[in-house]
Amino acid sequence: MMKVMVKDGKTLNVKTFDVKEEEIDDYTTVLELLLKLREERDPSLVLRYSCRMALCGSCGMVINGKPRLACLTKVKSLGEKIMVEPLRNLPTIRGLVPDLIPFFQKYRSVTPHLIGDEEQERPTRAYTQTDNQVKRYLQFNYCIQCGLCYSACPIVATNEKFPGPAAINVAYRYSADSRDRNPQRVLKLDTPEGVWSCRVAGSCSFVCPKGVDPSLAIQLVKSSLLRGGKP
């Protein structure tokens, strides 16, 4: 018998469910289990999800103390007791659903897209890149904006002005792109509340479900600032 505890981030109530071994198999994910519990035992469970395949980034929650995607986490990998809570460092809307607006406001504040020059605005040719130019930003491009890194970050927890790992990661991704012409994006992060707040705990990279290394992106932004600006 397995115990599954689900904490409502708004009321702080914890509901406990006994789950029999026969109810899960080797492939059952936490998301599937929560949906089953909602359908069969407690229709008041509130959660958010969409793709069920680690693409949309909407099912982030803290599972046994670690921010994870519920659709990517196998129940059998978690032991006899499972505690599920909403993401930390964000307000809860209801149940297990975090309010991601503060996360996306910071993400948007770094201009997370290419800014070209006038010629690129009215392109007359393809702006091709070499393999090495693509490699400079490729791994940072795999972010799905799930917010797990934001939830895991100890600096976000103590400094609400810190943009957070995902925002700095995407700032690096576009600034390191040979087609980008926006030096301001990283210069705006050159403040005590910006990249210099990071103490390299590395928890962002540890929890990222897509293999992105936002901690490395933050250090690369610091390095480029020390060398004068754009990566």
Site residues for ligand FES per CB under 6 A: 49-52, 54-59, 69, 71
Rg (CA), the chain: 20
Residues 99 and 13: their CA atoms lie apart, in Å, by 18
Is residue 42 within 8 A of residue 95, CB to CB? The reply is no
- The least CB distance from residue 229 to ligand SF4, in Å, is 23
Out of 87, 143, 168, 195, the residue judged to bind ligand SF4 by CB under 6 A: 143
**Beta carbons of 59 and 69 less than 8 angstroms apart:** yes
Among 37, 97, 212, 218, binds ligand SF4 (CB under 6 A): 212
Give the residue from 80, 71, 88, 81 showing the smallest Cα distance to 34.
71
Contact 63/148 with Cβ under 8 angstroms?
no
Of 56 and 93, which has the nearer Cβ to ligand FES?
56
User: Would you count residue 169 as binding ligand SF4 (CB under 6 A)?
Assistant: yes
Cross-strand pairs, 8: none
Taking the least distance from each CB to ligand FES, the nearer of 51 and 138 is 51
The reply to whether 112 sits near ligand SF4 by the rule CB under 6 A is: no
89 binds, among ligand SF4, ligand FES, none (CB under 5 to 8 A by kind): none
Q: Please tell me whether residue 145 binds ligand SF4 under the rule CB under 6 A.
A: yes
- 172 — phi, psi (to 5°)? -65, -45
Closer to ligand SF4 at the Cβ: 92 or 145?
A: 145
The verdict on 87 binding ligand SF4 (CB under 6 A) reads no
- When binding is defined by CB under 6 A, the residue of 208, 218, 220, 221 that contacts ligand SF4 is 208
Q: Which string of b and e fits 105-131 if b means at least 16 CB within 10 Å?
A: ebbeebbbeebeeeeeeeeeeeeeeee
Report the residue number, 24 or 173, with the smaller CB distance to ligand SF4. 173
Binding site for ligand SF4 (CB under 6 A): 143-149, 165-166, 169, 207-208, 210, 212, 214
